Structure 1
Amino acid sequence: MKTLYLECNMGAAGDMLSASLLDLFDDDEQRSIIEKLNEIAPEGVSVWSEPVTKCGITGTQMHVEINGQEESSQDHHDDKSHHHHTSMAQVEEIINGMDIPVEVKYDAACVYKQLAEAESRAHNKPVSEIHFHEVGMLDAIMDVVNFCYILHKIMPDQIFASPVRTGFGEVMCAHGILPVPAPATACLLQGVPTYAGGIEGEMCTPTGAALLRSHVQKYEERPLMTIEKTGYGIGHKDFAAANCVRAFLGETDESINSNSTAPIDGKYTDHVVELKCNLDDMTGEQIGFATQMLFKAGALDVFTTAIGMKKNRPGILLTVLCRPDDTGKIVPLIFKHTTTIGIRETLCNRYILKRTVVTDKNGIRKKISEGYGVHKEKSEFDDLARLAAKNDTSIF
């Protein structure tokens, strides 16, 4: 599976996370992405990037300027200063007005809703009363949209991350001096493995925490994976260690995971859970959205089958395959995003081929599958399509 792993040993901020993804692309692709981000940015907002070296590590640093000025690294949003303030509804209006895919709009709006809900809990106020300082709000909106748009370009099958370093001490914001992690950040990091890490200062910002919470499926050490690209997102603050988020993009071997048995005579097996439910009152659009949310949560496969139901009604059988450890989060999502009131569960033994991925000189990934006396090779279609489009040739 195409896997993105985010190493947050120096915490996480919106600009660092976005820059780490941008750094996965070559120079021409980076320029094209930056051009698109500037096309969609609100009036007076500009986005640019540059190569930066810190502590011997060179990566990409992203900048967002509002009317020619760059906002400080502070991004605590419920600002009470003299600036004009903006509500959550206005933030959603700004995002919905951007010329970006609907999936990116939805993704960005969900992240910002999490920010608003965290501020609401931190300050004990309804979300409707949370207002954002206009300059910081535009900066944070672009950090969120930048990340969501670039992530949409990458299209990973799954996203993992390391435990998050938060730093310690105090941070100054509009409310005064706050402890690190700030209250909103602490709300967003509930359930996420974190540690202070011995460096004084704010290492993880609310925007960074919201982006991680919205996208990361599991926090663990880097899994067994064939790394194809590494990106470094350089932060604006200076510490004794290189202030960066590191992104690894590659392929994980699904034939070897925590549920796999040891190979016997080159044969692999593992276990998956099959979840099923019957639906007769959902539109194709609604089922498509539910499928998208289940894949995003880490489902191995989601598919539908046409069936006949009681009262001679045509219906849909929704089938979801997931790892046994993931049923706790997949089952609630099926109830949340479908109309079903019951789900059937079956534990299945799965026979699988050992899979490895190699990349040729043209950047074409090839999946090699072996076992049970079988040897198969298949080139990655997306890579073939990219090369065909680049050279204006047929994909055949």
Structure 2
Amino acid sequence: MPKIAYFDCLSGISGDMTLGALVDAGAEIAAIEAAVRSMGLPELTITCTEVKKHGFRAIKVDIGHPPEHAHRHLHHITDMIDGATEIEPEAKELAKKIFHQVAVAEAKVHGSTLQKVHFHEVGAIDSIADIVGAAVAMTSMGIEIVEASPVPTGTGSITIAHGKVSIPAPATAEILKGVPIAASSVECELTTPTGAAILKACARRFGPLPSMTMHSIGFGAGTKDLESQANVLRVIVGEVAASERSASNSIQRDEIMLLETNIDDCTAEQIADAAERLMDAGALDVIQTPCQMKKGRSGVSLSVIANIDQAASLEAIMFESTSTIGIRRQVIPRHKLSRTDQVVATAFGEVSGKAVTLPSGQQRFKPEYDLVSQIAKRANVSLADVVSAAQTAWSDNR
């Protein structure tokens, strides 16, 4: 039965908050400390203290180590992880995956390469311990699935090795590209590069608490005390609900944005033009639904389905290309079948399409319509002939 961990990031996420929450949820601190020490850090200590944050108990993790001034490159950290004798292979791979997220972001921000970029705060021993410790904790607990809430970053500015920067810090913002952000007016860095990288590397979906049976709940404390809320990360560990279990391997979960507006003073040509512009700009789908509006006027409900990071640009097209003066926005969880791009050879030529895996484990193949249409016209045969030939070729080659 798949074990799932849900990261409730009401007050953001950092490396020490993550490790504290996982320990509070059941991870063995002694095993984590031994694992991190085996990376060539024999004097390192990890201590856990129960603290109160706005009246709520939580575990505060502190990393003890001798003073150091090293700025490490990615290969230095990778070598340390690979050389560790007390870390299981699965945990090593997860830790390296998390550090890779940081390295890619740092290289992008500083115009460097993965080989040349060096870590500052994330390369310090305490951050290394937080990341490797979190990887060891999750794998030792048998966590197979990670999901999380949208992530608040806080607001204001902080001072890092490169000077004063706005929140989210440049590397944090780069790591969080594609991750839903929750608005927050708290003037503090709620999400650090380390915390962002853990989520980016591990979480398969961001949204509300999923269907699950909860077994343990851990609270990890941040360093700062916030005036308006408890500075804690809550991690809920349990099992995927029975209704979700059989589909867990074939169904992918994400979130999309739904943009909607009702229009009764636009010509059909204008709406058709807007729909074409929206599709060209990257909308996943554009739907026109006839509707009756106020005063008995006939109208059209224009619905645009989009990736969250494209919502702003598509909304601008809707305002510019139609007469609407208001657009409804809604973030919606989405389930989609796992799919792979495939090409099959037929008597009419090569046909590309997508093979999807159903929850039952069976597969089906759907050719790309535009290509099938072109081939059918060129061969002077029906659309159904080309589709049938492609599906037969796919079945024969499985």
Q: Given that residues 42 and 94 in structure 1 are in contact (C-alpha distance below 8 angstroms), is that contact kept between their aligned partners in structure 2?
A: no
Counterpart in the other structure of 1:16 = 17
- The answer as to 2:188 corresponding to 1:213 is no
Q: State the distance in 1 between where 2:116 and 2:44 align.
A: 26
2:13 is paired with a residue of what secondary structure? coil
Q: State the distance in 2 between where 1:11 and 1:206 align.
A: 11
TM-score for both structures, normalised by structure 1: 0.61
What are structure 2's unaligned runs of at least 5 residues? Answer: 253-333, 344-351, 362-398
- How far off is 1:95 after superposition? 1.3
Counterpart in the other structure of 1:175 = 162
Specify the code of the residue in structure 2 equivalent to 1:171. I
1:49 is paired with a residue of what secondary structure? strand
TM-score for both structures, normalised by structure 2: 0.61
Specify the code of the residue in structure 2 equivalent to 1:5. Y
2:127 is paired with a residue of what secondary structure? helix
- The answer as to 2:23 corresponding to 1:5 is no
Q: State the distance in 2 between where 1:349 and 1:146 align.
A: 34
Q: Which moved more, 1:107-116 or 1:176-185?
A: 107-116
- How far off is 1:64 after superposition? 1.1
- The answer as to 2:133 corresponding to 1:123 is no
- The answer as to 2:146 corresponding to 1:159 is yes
Q: State the distance in 1 between where 2:104 and 2:192 align.
A: 15
Specify the code of the residue in structure 2 equivalent to 1:331. T
Alignment partner of 2:215 out of 215, 222, 228: 228
C-alpha spacing 1:346/1:132, structure 2 compared with 1 (3 Å): closer
C-alpha spacing 1:102/1:56, structure 2 compared with 1 (3 Å): same
- How far off is 1:157 after superposition? 2.9
Counterpart in the other structure of 2:46 = 47
Counterpart in the other structure of 2:373 = none
- How far off is 1:153 after superposition? 0.9
Alignment partner of 1:325 out of 315, 326, 336: 336
Residues 244-269 of structure 1 show CA distances to partners (whole Å, capped at 9, x for unaligned) of 11011112324259x99xxxxxxxxx
- The answer as to 2:97 corresponding to 1:103 is no
What are structure 1's unaligned runs of at least 5 residues? Answer: 72-82, 261-269, 275-322, 336-341, 352-396
Q: State the distance in 1 between where 2:40 and 2:63 align.
A: 10
Q: Percent identity at matched positions? A: 31
- How far off is 1:97 after superposition? 1.4
Residues 122-158 of structure 1 show CA distances to partners (whole Å, capped at 9, x for unaligned) of 1112222212348952221111100000001111231
2:105 is paired with a residue of what secondary structure? helix
Residues 358-378 of structure 1 show CA distances to partners (whole Å, capped at 9, x for unaligned) of xxxxxxxxxxxxxxxxxxxxx
Counterpart in the other structure of 2:240 = 252
- How far off is 1:61 after superposition? 1.2
- How far off is 1:171 after superposition? 0.7
Counterpart in the other structure of 2:230 = 242
Q: Given that residues 37 and 47 in structure 1 are in contact (C-alpha distance below 8 angstroms), is that contact kept between their aligned partners in structure 2?
A: no
Q: Given that residues 84 and 134 in structure 1 are in contact (C-alpha distance below 8 angstroms), is that contact kept between their aligned partners in structure 2?
A: no
- The answer as to 2:92 corresponding to 1:91 is no
Q: State the distance in 2 between where 1:96 and 1:343 align.
A: 40
C-alpha spacing 1:57/1:38, structure 2 compared with 1 (3 Å): farther
C-alpha spacing 1:347/1:140, structure 2 compared with 1 (3 Å): closer
Alignment partner of 1:199 out of 180, 186, 189: 186
Q: How does 1:184-195 map to 2 (within 5 A)?
A: 184-195=171-182
Counterpart in the other structure of 1:65 = 64
Q: State the distance in 2 between where 1:169 and 1:17 align.
A: 23
Residues 22-66 of structure 1 show CA distances to partners (whole Å, capped at 9, x for unaligned) of 11118xx44454455445561442222111111111121111122
Residues 197-245 of structure 1 show CA distances to partners (whole Å, capped at 9, x for unaligned) of 1101110000110010000000010012221110001111110211111
Q: Given that residues 47 and 65 in structure 1 are in contact (C-alpha distance below 8 angstroms), is that contact kept between their aligned partners in structure 2?
A: yes
Alignment partner of 1:345 out of 324, 344, 355: 355
- How far off is 1:87 after superposition? 1.9
Specify the code of the residue in structure 2 equivalent to 1:86. R
Q: State the distance in 1 between where 2:70 and 2:177 align.
A: 31
Q: Given that residues 43 and 65 in structure 2 are in contact (C-alpha distance below 8 angstroms), is that contact kept between their aligned partners in structure 1?
A: yes
Specify the code of the residue in structure 1 equivalent to 2:336. D
Q: State the distance in 2 between where 1:252 and 1:43 align.
A: 38
Q: Given that residues 122 and 193 in structure 2 are in contact (C-alpha distance below 8 angstroms), is that contact kept between their aligned partners in structure 1?
A: no
Q: Given that residues 41 and 142 in structure 1 are in contact (C-alpha distance below 8 angstroms), is that contact kept between their aligned partners in structure 2?
A: no
Q: Given that residues 51 and 60 in structure 2 are in contact (C-alpha distance below 8 angstroms), is that contact kept between their aligned partners in structure 1?
A: yes
Q: State the distance in 1 between where 2:243 and 2:31 align.
A: 36
Q: Given that residues 38 and 47 in structure 1 are in contact (C-alpha distance below 8 angstroms), is that contact kept between their aligned partners in structure 2?
A: no
Larger Rg: 2
1:255 is paired with a residue of what secondary structure? helix
- How far off is 1:343 after superposition? 8.8
C-alpha spacing 1:273/1:345, structure 2 compared with 1 (3 Å): farther
1:120 is paired with a residue of what secondary structure? helix
How many residue pairs get aligned? The number is 270
- How far off is 1:94 after superposition? 1.2
C-alpha spacing 1:271/1:203, structure 2 compared with 1 (3 Å): closer
Q: State the distance in 2 between where 1:136 and 1:349 align.
A: 42
